[in-house]
A = this chain, B = another copy of it.
Amino acid sequence: MPLTDRIEGAVTRALGTTQGGSAPKQLAEALGYACLPGGARIRPTILLSVAMACGDDKPRMADAAAASLELIHCASLVHDDLPCFDDAEVRRGKPSVHRAYSQPLAVLTGDSLIILAFQTLARAAAVDGARAAQLSLTLSERTGMPNGICAGQGWESEPEIDLGAYHRSKTAALFIAATQMGAISAGHEPEAWYDLGALIGEAFQVADDLRDALLDEATLGKPVGQDDLHGRPNAVAELGVEGAFKHLSDILAGAIASIPSCPGEAALAKIVSMQAERIMPAVPARYQV
């Protein structure tokens, strides 16, 4: 089965459990609105790719892990878009959740998706209890405090930002979760998979900085120039556009080199390269040699 079918199937099945007859209608609808249709699904794609590289001996476990990670990512987008953070009007080419529904429903949508992520893993304990618990622990560590995406967002409220901690938690955390949860899903130890996730996360951050600096709003599907607007640190400000492109290539080469020995090592390297091409912004004409 193609990866995208596995991911959409797993996310849709998880969302289905929230739609009981006693559910308030708008919130039930908003949960689907926030997750479907999805974006690039890069995190669950990486997760399943690592699981397959490690043998994917319990695909239902990997599917649950992929869904839980994507649900957390979608939750973070809904909350990050709120007026008190980015105040984004548009997300994935349509009105953000608080614009389409309301602020109360956007807060509750994020909360409900976070809870659903952990519920999805709790249900998967029926497949393998030990792996489900390890997945839940890893996901929580990369989502909450002190090292997860909540911490990353929390840094933006500090008068002085620890740049290393900020980038590791804000962006890299869910990529580290992706590679480590992929390994855990297939019964492998997660430690060896830290570097791959961290490097993909770093690449993603630099690519996002480049996109934020270069592309127009129509192409991106969300407001641009947000980093400048909010005074957040970014690679383009630090290295310039050309320097940031060079840095991005170096990081991706390092990511592929970091892949641990495993049955599907070569295939995984190919997938990481493909994902890298997807995240790489088009080089604008004025920067092409």
Name the one of B19, B123, B137, B146 contacting A22, with C-beta atoms under 8 angstroms: B146
Name the one of B27, B102, B144 contacting A151, with C-beta atoms under 8 angstroms: B27
- B111 and A79 contacting across the interface, CB-CB below 8 Å: yes
Residue A221, interface by CB 8 Å: no
Query: CA A116 – CA B155 in complex, angstroms?
Result: 18
- B122 and A24 contacting across the interface, CB-CB below 8 Å: no
Taking the closest CB of chain B, its distance from the CB of A233, in whole angstroms, is 14
Chain A 62-100 interface residues, beta-carbon cutoff 8 Å to B: 75, 79, 82, 84-85
Chain A 96-115 interface residues, beta-carbon cutoff 8 Å to B: 101-105, 107-108, 110-112, 114-115
Interface size on A (CB < 8 Å)? 63
- A145 and B133 contacting across the interface, CB-CB below 8 Å: no
Count copies of this chain in the complex: 2
Chain A 24-71 interface residues, beta-carbon cutoff 8 Å to B: 24-28, 31
- B112 and A144 contacting across the interface, CB-CB below 8 Å: yes
Residues of B within 8 A of A157 (CB): 24, 26-27, 101-102, 104-105
Other CB < 8 Å A-B pairs besides A23-B146, A84-B104, 20 of them?
A22-B151, A22-B165, A22-B168, A22-B169, A24-B157, A25-B158, A26-B158, A27-B145, A28-B154, A108-B153, A111-B114, A111-B144, A115-B140, A115-B143, A115-B144, A115-B148, A115-B150, A119-B140, A129-B129, A129-B130
Q: Closest 5 interchain pairs by CB?
A: A23-B146, A27-B154, A125-B133, A115-B144, A119-B140
